[in-house]
Amino acid sequence: MVMKEEMLMEEKLVINELEQGKELANQLMNNLKFPSSSELDMSLISGILRSYENAIVMLSLDQKTLKRSSPERIDQSNKKRRTSEKKMSEKVKICVGTGQEGTSLDDGYCWRKYGQKVIHGSKNPRGYYRCTHRFTRGCLAVKQVQKSDADPSCYEVKYLESHTCKANLSTTKFSVSVPKDEPKRVHVTEQSVDIIKHMKSEEMMLNLDDLENKKDIFRTFSFSYPETENIPEWKNLMDNLSPTTTSESGITNELLYTSSSSVSVANSPTADSCFSSLESILDLSHVWSLM
Partner DNA sequence: GAAATTTGACCAAG
Partner DNA sequence: CTTGGTCAAATTTC
Residues near 227 by beta carbon (within 8 Å), at least 6 away in sequence: none
Residue among 103, 200, 91 nearest 144 (CA): 91
Stretch that binds DNA, among 108-116, 173-181, 250-258, 274-282 (CB under 7 A): 108-116
User: Is residue 251 within the footprint of DNA (CB under 7 A)?
Assistant: no
Q: Which residue among 30, 76, 116, 261 contacts DNA (CB under 7 A)?
A: 116
**160-199 mask for DNA (x: CB under 7 A)?**
x---------------------------------------
Stretch that binds DNA, among 33-41, 121-129, 184-192, 224-232 (CB under 7 A): 121-129
User: Is residue 282 within the footprint of DNA (CB under 7 A)?
Assistant: no
Q: At closest approach, how far in Å is the CB of 177 from DNA?
A: 15
User: Is residue 159 within the footprint of DNA (CB under 7 A)?
Assistant: no
How crowded is residue 9: how many other Cβ atoms within 10 Å of its Cβ? 9
- Determine the distance from the C-alpha atom of residue 97 to the mean position of all C-alpha atoms in its chain, rounded to a whole number: 15
Do residues 248 and 167 touch, judged by C-beta distance below 8 A?
Answer: no
Give whichever of 222 and 252 is closer to DNA, judged by the CB atom: 252
DSSP state of 268: P
Q: At closest approach, how far in Å is the CB of 124 from DNA?
A: 12
Longest dimension (CA), the chain: 60
How crowded is residue 198: how many other Cβ atoms within 10 Å of its Cβ? 7
Window 58-97: residues binding DNA (CB under 7 A) = 83, 87
- Determine the distance from the C-alpha atom of residue 228 to the mean position of all C-alpha atoms in its chain, rounded to a whole number: 18
Q: At closest approach, how far in Å is the CB of 113 from DNA?
A: 4
Residues near 5 by beta carbon (within 8 Å), at least 6 away in sequence: none
Do residues 48 and 32 touch, judged by C-beta distance below 8 A?
Answer: no
Give whichever of 131 and 281 is closer to DNA, judged by the CB atom: 131
User: Is residue 135 within the footprint of DNA (CB under 7 A)?
Assistant: no
Three-state DSSP class for residue 193: coil
Q: Which residue among 68, 112, 173, 286 contacts DNA (CB under 7 A)?
A: 112
Q: Which residue among 52, 111, 221, 257 contacts DNA (CB under 7 A)?
A: 111
User: Is residue 132 within the footprint of DNA (CB under 7 A)?
Assistant: yes
Stretch that binds DNA, among 35-43, 57-65, 115-123, 226-234 (CB under 7 A): 115-123
Do residues 29 and 278 touch, judged by C-beta distance below 8 A?
Answer: yes
Stretch that binds DNA, among 33-41, 65-73, 105-113, 281-289 (CB under 7 A): 105-113
**H runs (alpha helix) in the chain:** 9-33, 38-66, 71-83, 165-169, 194-197, 212-220, 232-241, 271-290
Which residues in this chain contact DNA in the complex, by CB under 7 A?
83, 87, 110-121, 126-128, 130, 132, 142, 144, 160
